Structures are given as structure tokens and as C-alpha cells.
Chain A
Amino acid sequence: MTLVRAAFLPLTDSAVLVAAWEKGFAEAQGIELELVRTTSWATLRDRLVYGQVQAAQMLAPLAVAVTLGLSQQPAALSAPFKLNSNGNMLVMSGEFAAALEQNLPARLADPLGTGHDFAAAIGLFRRKPIIGIVHRFSGHALMLRYWLGSAGIDPDRDVVLRVLPPSLTVEAMRLGEIDGFIAGDPWPAAAIAQGLAEAVAIGARIWQRGVEKVLALRTDWMEANAETVDRLLLALAQAARWCDDPANRGELAGLLARPSYVGEPAELIEAGLAGQIVPRAGTPAIGQPDFLLFHREATAFPWRSQALWIYSQLVRWHQAEPAAAVEAAAGAVFRPDVYRRALGSSAEPMPGASMKLEGAVGAPTGVGAYRGALTLGPDRFFDGRVFDPERLGEYLAGFTQARG
């Protein structure tokens, strides 16, 4: 048995790591997966960078930022496997949301209209609304910025973004320290269940296939332990398949509900896994079948274009330098080559390309695969923009024009 320590945060999308250990997928590959519960992204990052753990469930933009030297001690990180797509939700207090569309299914179905209502609501609110984000380098923060930006809201000027870890969001709502927050499940659902907030936007309706957590490894460790990495990825792929199977939802929710993992009620977690979104306490659930994806559509495949989309947004918000070398370093964090090597002889469908247009798939579409049938689900951005990683400059210029 090879010991691999992996740090995680109490979130529903730690599911693949938890299942890999609890359901024996790691053990079957000769890996003793020791899961290290961590309560802040900073500590998860430090544990990985300084070698206390070999793997981590990391925010994809944070893996890029650490590699670019934007978040404390620089270290070359690699993401050879994505742990999920989607799973986020923006929730706001009832007081703020009173100025938004009151037909909740309509509000959530129309992110474009709700974005503009949100801009009006800011004007009506007694002060700048304070919105909690889990980290500046998180998919949630980038998606929130993208959504606010499209409605002409400057996220650095018109709202206050406050950083706090997912597990403290609900308490901060209760104390009135924030007016809303965007985070991964089950925290937004927990705030709604306790009557502290209501749903304003669902991540999967801002970007239908949003990049979320990745398996992050130190590049030097990954290269020195190729054989262990291959076994780890095989175990994770099997765990992801198990997590995505509706038949296992109840069991998975039960595992995650344990205090040593997420420590929130199993029913709450199971509703998220099933894509059942209760937008306000006491209202009927809305079905969002792609609320959270682990395995189908080759979710785990680390498309380089997605790392580059993250880079494009970091540049857009003046968090990363626009330079060819930086762009190349950011793109190289996602490692489809390692994914292919590890899973090449498995039954996983294998995309033929490593980059694609992001946001170009309107309906389920079959794509070129080395093996197996691979269908990609719709991956549109709500505003219809398409990201072509080969034309990053043009893409960024489009935002500037829209703002001016």
C-alpha cells in the first residue's frame, strides 16, 4: 500500500475523494488515501505546497494562482483530474432579494434579467451589499464577477466582496455580517433551509459546465511518482463513476454527512446531489439535473482551454499579468497528458483533443474520442459568449467594449 495524504474542505464536492477511500476504490489500487479535513483554502494550499499532503481538493483558479506566484509561496502545481463541474449557488438575504423577481423559478431561469434586477437592487439597498466569496481565486468568485459584469456592475466598485470560508458563511448570514454569498453545496442550501437567504443565481445557469474543484498535486511530486499518480487517477475515476450513479446518492449523502467529512444533514446533501434546489424555505424544489456533475461527459478531463479561461478572467480583473509566458504557465496547470497516460487502458471515454471552444455546445453533442462514445452536454455561458483559447485577446477586448 502506498500512503497518499489528501487535504479537503467540508463541501459536497469532496465526494470523489471521500468515495475513493470509503468505498475501497483507492485500496483496490494499492493506495491508502488519508483524508485531511481542512477549514480554510489557505491552510489547504500550505499543506500541499509545503508537502504535508501530496494531493488536495483545490479550487481550480487557486491552483493556477499558486503556480503563477499570486497566492503566497509560489509552487508549480498540476491538475491532472477535475473532481466535479458546477455545484455553486448565489444566495442573498430576503431583504436584498425583495427587489428581485418574486417568481422564483422565473428568477433562476433568467440570469440575464436577474443580473439587471440585481443592479437595480444595489441602488435600492441601504448600502453597498456585502457578498461573501470563499476565495478571490475561486470559480465562484470568477463566475460572480462574470455575471455582475454582464449587467454593468463593477464587482470592485459597486459591491463589497468579502472572503470567508464556506463553513462560516451560514453563521455570517445569521449575524448579518454579509448580505449574501456564493459558495459550493451544501452551504447555500443550508442558509436557505434556515430561512437566512434565498436563491438568486445557480452556477450551472451562469456557465452550464463551470470548472470547479480539481485534484491538485505538486508538479515535482507528480513527476517523481508517476506510477502512484496513475493508480490514484484510476481510483478517482471509479469513485467519480460511483458518485454520479443516482442509485448511490443516498449512501454518498450518508457518508458526506459524517462530522469527519461535511457534517451537515444527509437530506440537505442528497437534495443537492439530486439537483433539487429549494430556492426559499418552504417553497417547492426546482429540478436542476446538472447542478453538480462528477463523471458523465468526461467531467474529470482537464481541458486546457478551461485553465486558459480562468487565466482570461484573472487578466480581465487585473489579478494576473497579460503576457504570453504567464498564459502558457497558466494553461500548463491542467494536465490532460497525465489523465490520458493514467486512464489510457481503462474504460473511461477519452477525448481526442486537449482544448475546445468553451461555451459553444448548445445541445448534447457527440465529439471525437479515442475510445468509447463521448457526448458533451451543453456548456453555454448565459450571455452566449464563446471562449476560443486561440483568440484570448479578442475575447478580453469584447468585455472592455461592453463595459465602455
Chain B
Amino acid sequence: MRIVIVDDSGARASVLEEGLREAGYDDIHFVPPRGAFVARIERMAPDVVLMDLGSPSRDTLEEMLLVSRALAKPIAMFVDQSDETMIGAAIDAGVSAYVVDGLRKDRVKPILELAVRRFTAFSRMQNELDEARTALANRKTIDKAKAILMAQRGLNEGDAYGLLRSTAMNQGRRLVDVAEALITASSLLGGGAA
């Protein structure tokens, strides 16, 4: 069974490809949705096309599937239209799958399930990465605010942090927001925010 993965993100495509290979599928091709990508897909004559639901190129792909003379059988979206849970899971995970008409459902279902699991895992990984980045950025902001207080009010590090925290608590704001406000104010006043 020939599977084509259309994806902008090389990382996500690799995660998916790896999963498919582990499950025993070996005829897998990767096509980024750029330039004449539909012509490439057409030449490959795939049985299954997997694509990110968020990709703006889905309209282009669907049009090709509709008018293609090279593909012997029309390709339709999703495996089993009657399986609402499966469709819901696929949309939530951001997977769209196009499958050659007539391909047996039990042959395609494991592929879609695998794609859903891998897509979900990938977006979880991305979220964790984003959260880690945000945490790091917040810490840097707070450190900078602490340094300003230490320099201008002659506080030690512990007291500077304590002052930021009690201000945040009194004002019902997040620590990082108070720190940002302090940095902005200090730079406006020509203080040592650098």
C-alpha cells in the first residue's frame, strides 16, 4: 500500500513516517505542499494521502483528486464515513486522510489511527516545547527586574524577589507582568534597565 504524507513540517512527517514503518508499511513518500506538488502526487498514484488539516494547500489537493485522470479511482476523504468517533478524533488531531475508493476499510483504519496518535503526540511535544520556552523567557524577565531593584534600591536578591512577589500578590497580577512593568518604567525613566 502506497502512502503519501503531505506536510510542511519535516519533523511531524518524520514522526509519522517512523510510526508507519514500525507498523510494517514501507511504501511511504513525503511531499512538501509547495510548487507543483499535486503533479508529483499524481505520478506516485498513492492509495492513501495523509495531510495536516491545518495546511492551506488542502483545497489544491482536493481539486487535483477531483479532476485527475491519472489516478484510476477517485479518492475520498476519510476511511469510514459512518464512524463518527474516528472522524472526530481525526479532526481533533488535525489529520485529514484521502483514500482510494474501494480500498478495504479494515486495511486503512489502522493507518488513520496511527496517524491520529502520532499527530497528537507531535502537537503535545510542541506544546511542551512552547511552555518550556515561555518559562525560560519569564525567568529572564524576572531576573532583569530583580537586578533593577538590587541596583536602585540597594536590596539583596532575596529581598528584591520578595518585593516583586508581594507587589504581584497585592495587585492580583502575575509576577512576570509586574516584572515587565518595572522594566518598562525603569527604561522610560532612563534607569539601568539595560
Contact = CB atoms under 8 A, between A and B. Distances in A.
Interface of A: 39-43, 46-47, 50-52, 71-73, 134-136, 162-165, 167-168, 175, 177
A-B pairs with the 10 shortest C-beta distances? Answer: A39-B56, A163-B63, A42-B58, A40-B58, A165-B56, A40-B59, A72-B77, A40-B56, A163-B59, A163-B60
Nearest to B87: A50
Nearest to B52: A43
Contacts, number: 60
Nearest to A165: B56
Contacts of A135: 59, 63
B141 interface: no
Nearest to A166: B56
Contacts of A72: 62, 76-77
B54 A39 contact: yes
Nearest to A136: B63
B60 A167 contact: no
B54 to A, nearest CB: 7
Interface string B46-61: 0000000111111110
Given A43-B54, A167-B56, A50 B81 contact: no
Given A42-B62, A50-B88, A168 B56 contact: yes
Contacts of B57: 40, 164-165, 168
Interface string B11-43: 000000000000000000000000110000000
Interface of A is mostly: loop
Given A43-B53, A52-B91, A175 B35 contact: yes
Interface of B: 35-36, 53-60, 62-63, 66, 76-78, 81, 84, 87-88, 91-92, 96
20 contacts: A40-B55, A40-B57, A40-B58, A42-B96, A43-B96, A46-B53, A46-B91, A52-B91, A71-B62, A72-B62, A72-B76, A73-B81, A135-B59, A163-B59, A163-B62, A163-B63, A164-B56, A165-B59, A168-B56, A177-B35
Contacts of B35: 175, 177
A164 B59 contact: yes
Contacts of A168: 56-57
A43 B60 CA distance: 12
A167 B76 CA distance: 25
Contacts of B62: 42, 71-72, 163
Contacts of B91: 46-47, 50, 52
A43 B54 CA distance: 7
A145 to B, nearest CB: 15
**Could you say which of B60, B66, B81 has the most chain A C-beta atoms within 10 Å of its C-beta?**
B60
A40 B56 CA distance: 5
Contacts of B96: 42-43, 46
Contacts of A167: 56
Contacts of B66: 136
A397 B42 CA distance: 36
A47 B76 CA distance: 16
Nearest to A319: B66
Contacts of B77: 46, 72-73
Given A39-B55, A164-B59, A164-B60, 19 more contacts: A40-B56, A40-B57, A40-B58, A41-B59, A42-B96, A43-B53, A43-B58, A50-B87, A50-B91, A51-B88, A72-B62, A72-B76, A134-B59, A136-B66, A163-B59, A163-B60, A165-B60, A167-B56, A175-B35
